[in-house]
Amino acid sequence: MTQPARTAPTLAEVAEAAGVSRSTASRALNDSPRISEETKKRVRAAAKEVNFVPNARGRALAVGRTEIIAVLVTEPLSELFSDPTYSEFLSGITEELSESSYLPVILQASSSHERNRAREHFERRSFDAVIDVSPYKGSELLEVLRELGVPTVLCGQLEGHPYRDVFSTVYSDDEEGGRFAALAMKDRGRKDIVAVLGPQDNPAVVDRLRGYRAILGESLPDENVIYTGWSSGDGYQATRQLLARAIHADGVLCGSDRIATGVIAAFNEAGISVPKDVSVVGFDDHEVAARIVPALTTIRQPLREEGRMAAGIALDMINGAAPTTTVMHMQLVQRDSL
Amino acid sequence: MTQPARTAPTLAEVAEAAGVSRSTASRALNDSPRISEETKKRVRAAAKEVNFVPNARGRALAVGRTEIIAVLVTEPLSELFSDPTYSEFLSGITEELSESSYLPVILQASSSHERNRAREHFERRSFDAVIDVSPYKGSELLEVLRELGVPTVLCGQLEGHPYRDVFSTVYSDDEEGGRFAALAMKDRGRKDIVAVLGPQDNPAVVDRLRGYRAILGESLPDENVIYTGWSSGDGYQATRQLLARAIHADGVLCGSDRIATGVIAAFNEAGISVPKDVSVVGFDDHEVAARIVPALTTIRQPLREEGRMAAGIALDMINGAAPTTTVMHMQLVQRDSL
DNA sequence: ATTAACGGTGCAACCGGTTGTACAACCATG
DNA sequence: CATGGTTGTACAACCGGTTGCACCGTTAAT
């Protein structure tokens, strides 16, 4: 077919082909009201003819934007994406940006090498905005972004971090989610409740527990709170140990749906019926939640909407909007495990 | 501390501060031999003083490069990264680029929306090169890249695809890996061998099987070849079915280490000893391989090196090198399961 | 003393777009 | 017919760097 076009057509060529000046060609292609319909048509035809696409570098220099937004990930990617819920979040971002001309790219910055490169490109202004997916760590980069004044959106709740009025923040209300889960247990009449959470140092875990306690108070003593990992296996192990310790429980609040699947599996194995003997509530509304038996009652975290929101705010900030803080609401999804 | 610097310092300011012209300042910062040591010192000091970092947009326009390399992912990210081995590959890329000034970014292009955005930015020349991680699909984008003449590296073996002499290719020799695994079985004296592979339509699976057969020939009949998924559960299920069908086997060749863990679990459960009664060989040298009991003998695919190689080739192509095809070699890792 | 060679520097053009402003052509109005 | 207001276009400057080339002041060679 066509030979590989090593040299891309420039605006000048389009202008010449259409018999107008560069400036007119530019305005015509950008649909300026100052150009006549007829000229626009001619220029567009010429552009199509030579297969013209405005060069990003020239355009970026002129308009002061690269139209690229970096999604900053400071953990190893495999850690992040082993939880498929995160791709929901990303989908939200791309969904929101799909109507704009902005392109999201993922920037891994887990090693210090990577962070240095990232820092360099931030300083060079390679990106118009940054969405930080896991702002708990990597504060050095945040500091850089702050100094440079790069529009930045933090996803996650940072307790009293120093950037509140410089960066935007989007997060789901984990405490609210915890309250919803605990409330559901209470309404169901469950009294002896155990919580199988994720890692103790995770901020979301802390908040969710606070939510549980806001409802259950003393009826959820420390010895009934188990910290573990996020996986199904962790839930399984934790439940086995519970049973071994002969702790009576008629309700288990889980830190994630994956944990919940493990918990349910362990109960099944022990001949304990869910939800007849014991109620289980998950967290996340992971895709497996609806598929397991019994279908899992869980707390839905609006990750996709969070992504959309983050991207939307990033665009607003690029256009000069002030930083904002947005709290997304959790939702109880009633299924069969309660 | 310092106020957010909304407006970054330009080269002109540095030049003025150092009392030289812009061109001299530029040359000094780029370490041109035409500038005296003394002037360089002065300029560098001035640059440090005002905290100067060359603006990516201006620089990109002048030198014709953005110094950003896109890592193109055409599958959902969660699918790719649920297998942690892939982050090895990415580490290889960043490792190789860390000595250059290039920044790798991940570009997800699984939806058609995303592909359109990506296409647009390719046309605009937002990236200096592209590394396609899963070039089996998304050939439309490859076509665009070909036409634009963007340096592109494909990771994976594409049987007779039409881009061989336009793009570079890097892949591991799966057939060789298959031979190594089968050879190890043979040397161990195993005769009745079963293969539990991944999906039948996966090119790597096809090649690995070809490698097995190159060594085992007729002693690996079709009825002993099982196609399944990549997960531990798949290996477990497949083995259960084997046992149910009372097929005698003294060796199992697995398509992935995760499959192998499931296989071993099923044998253990059935009271069959690995490696006394039956030998198991995995594939990938996944991080769990060394940790399970018995430690898994497996075929190591040099993913990190593949990543480094891909990035290196991308850099070479940016500098005008011709496309190349690189085959990485597999390696047998001897542990206890054989 | 004249000139060639050379190291160091600055002017100006360039990369490829966008945009403020001047200007020409046209129309309607007084 | 002169005037003023539109409308459509082009010139030129600008974004922020890099780079070819001319120029200057030395020093060394003739």
Could you read off the pLDDT of B235-273 as tens digits, one per residue?
A: 999 999 999 988 889 999 999 998 999 999 999 999 999
- Look at residue A160 in the predicted model and tell me its pLDDT: 63
- B219 close contact with A: CB closer than 8 A: no
Which of B108, B111, B149 faces A4 most closely, judged by CB atoms? B149
Give the whole-angstrom CA distance, residue B81 versus residue A164: 32
- B164 close contact with A: CB closer than 8 A: no
Cis omega before residue A294 (within 30°)? Answer: yes
CB contact under 8 Å between A148 and B95, yes or no, is no
- B162 close contact with A: CB closer than 8 A: no
Geometric angle at alpha carbon B48, from B44 and B50, rounded to 5°: 120
In the numeric block, the tokens 């304990």 are attached to: A272
CB contact under 8 Å between B147 and A4, yes or no, is yes
CB contact under 8 Å between B60 and A60, yes or no, is yes
- Per the structure block, which two tokens stand in for B320? 């005008």
Pick the closest to residue B239 from B213, B216, B259 (CA basis): B259
Which nucleotides in chain D lie less than 7 Å from some protein C-beta?
7-12, 14-20
In the numeric block, the tokens 């469950």 are attached to: A190
Nucleic strand D within 7 A of Cβ A36: yes
- B70 close contact with A: CB closer than 8 A: yes
- Look at residue B173 in the predicted model and tell me its pLDDT: 94
The yes-or-no verdict on residue B292 having pLDDT over 50 is yes
In the numeric block, the tokens 């540095």 are attached to: B14
- Look at residue B331 in the predicted model and tell me its pLDDT: 95
Positions of chain A with pLDDT lower than 70, given as ranges: 1-7, 81-85, 137-138, 158-161
> Which B residues, 117 through 146, put their C-beta within 8 Å of a C-beta on chain A?
117-118, 120-121, 123-126, 146
Mean of pLDDT values over B272-298: 92
- Look at residue A3 in the predicted model and tell me its pLDDT: 41
Residue to test with chain A: of B85, B87, B292, most A Cβ within 10 A: B87
Cα atoms found within 13 Å of the Cα of residue A89, Cβ hemisphere only: 28
pTM, to two decimals: 0.86
Q: What is the CA radius of gyration of chain A?
A: 26
- Look at residue A159 in the predicted model and tell me its pLDDT: 66
- Look at residue B5 in the predicted model and tell me its pLDDT: 46
| Average model confidence (pLDDT) across chain B | 90
- Per the structure block, which two tokens stand in for A74? 């400071």
Q: Per-residue pLDDT tens for A145-170? A: 988 889 999 998 766 667 778 999 99
- Look at residue B3 in the predicted model and tell me its pLDDT: 40
CB B151 within 8 A of CB B318: yes
Q: Greater confidence, B159 or B336?
A: B336
Work out the minimum CA distance from A25 to partner chain B, whole angstroms.
17
